[in-house]
Amino acid sequence: MQTRQLGPFSVSAIGLGCMNLSQGYGPPITDKQGESVLLTALDAGVTLFDTASLYGFGANETLIGRVLKTHRQRFTLASKCGMTGVDVKGDGKLVRVIDGRPDTLRRTCEASLRRLQTDVIDLYYIHRLDKTVPIEDSVGALSDLVRKGYIRTIGLSEMSATTLRRAHAVHPIAAMQTEYSLWTRNPEIAVLQACKELGVAFVAFSPVGRGFLAGEPLQPESFEANDLRRSMPRFEGSNWEANARLLPAYRRLANEVGCSPAQLALAWLLQRAEHIIPIPGTTRVDHLQDNLGALDVTLSADVLVKLDALINQHTVAGSRYNAQGNLDAQTEQF
């Protein structure tokens, strides 16, 4: 397994985003299916597993804790705080709330440790910026958790280069996690360069464009009611029609290289910079194995030029999030 540096950790060059095992793209899979994906990834050499207190409102951390607790020394465990489920109306229905207050972050960490069945979380991200709380206060709370031995390193998710620099001045930031792929180029505005300058790993989630770059034809009209892509403009109406027209040429490039479309997307990311670590998510073992095959793919300069010209911020139609999602994500916008 090829490795890359993430703070003090040497991790697999491709990690596993675990959200899909509990939420996001239709009905959750069975625990048995989730266990199979997790253990297959571990046996294949994946050593970075990424979860969050938000995913399945704790269910994802519970699954990882149950399945991987006996293998804890074999991998780097990442989770997130600052965006959790809260019973706002008192009716038992949890809604997503961004809360970066120090006391909330401490309580969230303690609950995550119990669900994950571990004494320490290796990398603990602030999931989204709480715009009512100075980032210095939120990072300061996590630095206290580092000193107490509850977490080892601190990360940020979907935040700007300016926020990264402010946070890094309080406590070293090990990683910035943001959506990045051929069809989501926002990190290229400022965050990628800031990470490089500060020695911060860049963890790319949704590296195959939420399935768009994975090769299998998507039919947005048939997405399940709880599929998060239903609220994303890129998968809607004329935007989707325009984006789908990019795929035949993209698949031809994959055939030219001799790899799968998903491998093409991941190989492109891996060759962008050494500090980039993609964490594709999947619910299927065959897709997991296909993703890891990207480590054996080397793209020529000519192919890289063709890819950049084909799928980029100018050729993709529609925003990556809806209006609320764009407000929640502080990453620089085109």
Using CA atoms, how far apart are residues 199 and 37, in angstroms rounded to an integer?
31
Question: What are the structure tokens assigned to 314, written together?
Answer: 């100018």
Give the list of residues 6+ apart from residue 314 with CB closer than 8 angstroms, or none.
none
Q: At what angle do helices 261-270 and 301-310 cross, to 10 degrees?
A: 110
Of 55, 180, 250, 321, the active-site residue reads 55
Query: Residue 58 burial by CB count (10 A; 0-12/13-18/19+): exposed, middle or buried?
Result: buried
Q: Are strands 3-6 and 9-12 parallel, antiparallel or unpaired?
A: antiparallel
Question: What are the structure tokens assigned to 134, written together?
Answer: 């100075």
Active site residue 55: yes
Exposure on the CB side of residue 109, measured as CA atoms within 13 A: 30
Query: What is the residue type of 145?
Result: L
Exposure on the CB side of residue 147, measured as CA atoms within 13 A: 7
Find where tokens 């959200």 sit. Answer: 19
Question: What are the structure tokens assigned to 183, written together?
Answer: 């069809």
Provide the annotated active-site residues. 55
